[in-house]
Protein backbone atom coordinates (compact mmCIF):
# COMPACT_ATOMS: atom_id res chain seq x y z
CA UNK A 1 0.00 0.00 0.00
CA UNK A 2 1.20 3.53 -0.70
CA UNK A 3 1.11 6.05 2.14
CA UNK A 4 1.83 9.76 2.34
CA UNK A 5 2.46 11.90 5.40
CA UNK A 6 3.43 15.58 5.78
CA UNK A 7 7.23 15.71 5.85
CA UNK A 8 8.84 17.59 8.70
CA UNK A 9 12.51 18.48 8.92
CA UNK A 10 15.54 18.29 6.73
CA UNK A 11 16.40 14.60 7.04
CA UNK A 12 18.34 12.89 4.29
CA UNK A 13 16.19 10.50 2.26
CA UNK A 14 18.83 7.78 2.77
CA UNK A 15 18.31 8.00 6.55
CA UNK A 16 14.57 7.66 6.08
CA UNK A 17 14.96 4.66 3.79
CA UNK A 18 17.21 2.98 6.38
CA UNK A 19 14.56 3.64 9.05
CA UNK A 20 11.90 2.00 6.89
CA UNK A 21 13.89 -1.15 6.02
CA UNK A 22 13.02 -3.10 9.21
CA UNK A 23 9.32 -2.59 8.41
CA UNK A 24 9.54 -3.56 4.74
CA UNK A 25 9.07 0.01 3.54
CA UNK A 26 10.32 0.85 0.06
CA UNK A 27 10.32 3.48 -2.65
CA UNK A 28 10.51 6.38 -0.19
CA UNK A 29 10.55 9.84 -1.73
CA UNK A 30 9.58 13.39 -0.87
CA UNK A 31 6.88 14.83 -3.13
CA UNK A 32 5.49 18.34 -2.66
CA UNK A 33 6.30 18.45 1.05
CA UNK A 34 5.04 14.94 1.77
CA UNK A 35 6.93 11.75 2.48
CA UNK A 36 5.60 8.92 0.32
CA UNK A 37 6.53 5.27 0.53
CA UNK A 38 5.12 1.80 0.01
CA UNK A 39 4.59 -0.61 2.87
CA UNK A 40 2.61 -3.72 3.75
CA UNK A 41 -0.63 -3.07 5.65
CA UNK A 42 0.46 -5.01 8.73
CA UNK A 43 3.61 -2.87 9.16
CA UNK A 44 2.07 0.52 8.44
CA UNK A 45 1.40 1.57 12.04
CA UNK A 46 4.83 0.49 13.32
CA UNK A 47 6.64 2.34 10.51
CA UNK A 48 4.51 5.44 11.11
CA UNK A 49 5.36 5.47 14.82
CA UNK A 50 9.08 4.95 14.11
CA UNK A 51 9.20 7.84 11.63
CA UNK A 52 7.18 10.05 13.94
CA UNK A 53 9.45 9.32 16.91
CA UNK A 54 12.49 10.33 14.85
CA UNK A 55 10.81 13.60 13.88
CA UNK A 56 10.55 12.93 10.15
CA UNK A 57 6.76 13.28 10.00
CA UNK A 58 3.94 14.84 12.04
Rounded to two decimals, the pTM is 0.86
> Which residue in 53, 52, 54 sits closest to 6, CA to CA?
52
Q: What's the CA gap between 26 and 30, in Å, rounded?
A: 13
Q: For the segment 3-52, what is each residue's pLDDT rounded down to a tens digit?
A: 999 998 778 899 999 999 999 999 999 999 999 999 999 999 999 999 99
Amino acid sequence: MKVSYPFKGNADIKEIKESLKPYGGRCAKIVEGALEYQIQDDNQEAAYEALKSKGYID
